[in-house]
Structure 1
Amino acid sequence: MSLALPVQACAPHAVSRLRTERLARSAKPFMARGGIKGERCPGCRLVPSHCICALRPEVATPVGMCLLMADIEPLKPSNTGWLIADVVPDTFAFGWARTEVDPALLALLADPQWQPCVVFPGEFVAPERVVHAQPSLSNNWPTGQRPLFILLDATWPEARKMFRKSPYLNHLPVLSLKPEQVSRYQLRRSRRGDHLCTSEVASLCLELAGQAHAADTLQAYLDVYTHHYLQAKHQLPPDLQGPAHARWQALKGS
């Protein structure tokens, strides 16, 4: 049986606000490649008939996420940084530019309540900067600060450029993830199976920080979003009894 969820307004979060700012600077409308033309829900970017705002699952966690987003990433309906901001209350989002940096980003990195680290493959980083795991919060974060994971939200070529040309990140440790799973993300495809989408990377970071429930919630939310996105793309109703929603309901009931 296939039913649509009721449309529900969502308060704007950091990625939503960044999208609004980016649209205000645009000289012409942004048209998502391969997307459905017409109205989209401002809360979840899906067409209203496939809206998932009623499922928005904000989870209490001391972990913070900082998204450095390539120029048009906030505009793409397939961007999964938006889902991170839905789930993790302390999500910050900044547009990246080679020649300038948002003063608010520098203030965030200098805020003593946070211990920031950049999430990036260790093979491209000086070995002394690289850490492969973070202790869980339940085992006492070593500095007494809250972890702030900095994610470069971009295509892989863009992310490498952002990492090289962001000198304000050079003093920070780099968390190199070693994911065992192949990406389940279906909306955009990397040529390498070990390249995860931004939401999947954030889920792994949450897990490393001892936030298993938040990690599982974010992964299940990505699955639900992907299902609704693809069903809308093929002009099919969302299946609220299907595998994605079954996993979501099981998580909510656990």
Structure 2
Amino acid sequence: MPHAVSQLRSARLARSSKPFLARGGFKRERCEGCRLAVSHCMCALRPAVATKPGFCLLMADIEALKPSNTGWLIADMVADTFAFGWARTETDPALLTLLKDPQWQGFIVFPGEFVAPERVVRSLQLPAAAEGAAAKRPLFILLDGTWSEARKMFRKSPYLDHLPVLSLELAQISQYKLRRSRRDDHFCTSEVASLCLSLAGEELAAQTLEAYLDVFTHHYLQAKNQSPIAWDSAAHQRLSELTGQAGKSTIPAAKVDSFQAFTP
């Protein structure tokens, strides 16, 4: 069954009056499962890691249509990933229902420097469960879009105003290579999700998502440059080790011929 971001993409495409053309992207046929060129498909590498936290992606209008969007990778790996299109004038009722679900404690992930201090938390502070009730699970709410879009979503979403804002300590520099940002401390959605998982004590999931992003980046750029995939790359090996596939071939047999077509 298609995951939440895939379903949102399909719904957005259904509303489009003309085909979406990714800026600077390649024009070859794309795989519906990973959005990459069919020749560089990575669906067989999709990891699945059980996690206590879930993710809620609030996505700017065309974000789900962009082949470079990394929220897709989160939904690939984390089963409890929800995705909603954001609009200033209307809100999906399913989103409001999710935010009221008693099993979840929502955290908006956003820089604390732009938020009233009393709302900011820097660690997961989950309320104590009532006697006989299950403990709440963290639900990380990620504003998926450009920085200006994310700021607009934060300011103009009153249904989020009651939630704590999780401000991450970003010591490293973003390694994301598929889109440009003027600042090194602007992270892609998948990188932010990895940091959230690590903060929640889900280190295996955090590292796996990190490695999965590296593999996705490699496949995307190799397809864009019409170059073959380096299946023995450090990124592939790390993902293989983290998913317990060490020693096994990561290249699907059915794909061998199409990959060989790109051999210089």
Question: Given the two structures, how large is their TM-score scaled by the length of structure 1?
Answer: 0.92
Q: Displacement, 1:142?
A: 4.0
The aligned amino acid for 1:200 is E
Query: Aligned pair count?
Result: 240
Could you say what secondary structure the match of 1:106 adopts? helix
Match of 2:16?
26
Gapped runs of 5+ residues in structure 1? 1-10
Match of 1:110?
100
* Residues 36-64 of structure 1: CA deviation (Å, up to 9, x unaligned): 11310000000111101001101111110
Match of 2:158?
167
Alignment of 1:1-254 (within 5 A): 11-134=1-124, 142-143=128-129, 144-253=135-244
* Residues 154-201 of structure 1: CA deviation (Å, up to 9, x unaligned): 000010011000000000000000111111110012111111100000
The aligned amino acid for 2:93 is P
Could you say what secondary structure the match of 1:30 adopts? coil
Compute the RMSD of aligned alpha carbons.
Answer: 1.2
Could you say what secondary structure the match of 2:232 adopts? coil
CA distance in 2 between counterparts of 1:190 and 1:38 reads 26
Question: Given the two structures, how large is their TM-score scaled by the length of structure 2?
Answer: 0.89
Could you say what secondary structure the match of 1:29 adopts? coil
The aligned amino acid for 1:81 is G
* Residues 197-234 of structure 1: CA deviation (Å, up to 9, x unaligned): 00000000001111111111100000000000000000
Gapped runs of 5+ residues in structure 2? 130-134, 247-264
CA distance in 2 between counterparts of 1:170 and 1:30 reads 33
The aligned amino acid for 1:94 is F
Q: Displacement, 1:81?
A: 0.2
The aligned amino acid for 1:229 is Y
Match of 1:8?
none
| Structure 1 residues 141 and 211: CA distance shift in structure 2, 3 A | farther
| Structure 1 residues 223 and 141: CA distance shift in structure 2, 3 A | farther
Could you say what secondary structure the match of 2:243 adopts? helix
Tell me if the contact between 2:173 and 2:184 (Cα under 8 Å) persists in the aligned partners.
yes
